[in-house]
Amino acid sequence: MQDIISNRYTSDRESNQTNMDVKKLKSYTQKMYKVGFGSNLWGIFSEDSLNTITYIEGAIEYVGEREVFYIPEEELIDHDYYV
């Protein structure tokens, strides 16, 4: 996973950076919910996005968790990935 993310940021650059330059890949866990919108119409949403959608009251069910990986902003700034 880290290699894929790192390559995305280094592929356009003309430098000697390798995909090991980004060492601080972090993660956090989100709760996921199955949400009903109508007859046989469902979606799975994270706890962070539940307030952005309109769904049928009571038609919500916890389905599990997911782990989201990201590169901290300081790491991107330190490696000059922002153009």
51-58 long-range Cβ contacts below 8 angstroms, 24+ apart? none
Residue 73, pLDDT above cutoff 50:
yes
What is the tens place of the pLDDT at every residue in 15-57? 444 454 556 789 999 999 999 988 889 999 999 998 898 888 8
State residue 14's pLDDT score: 42
Label residue 78 by pLDDT band (50, 70, 90).
low
**Global pTM value:** 0.59
Residues 45 and 3: their CA atoms lie apart, in Å, by 27
Tokens of 41: 């119409």
**Contact of 37 with 45, CB cutoff 8 Å:** no
Label residue 10 by pLDDT band (50, 70, 90).
very low
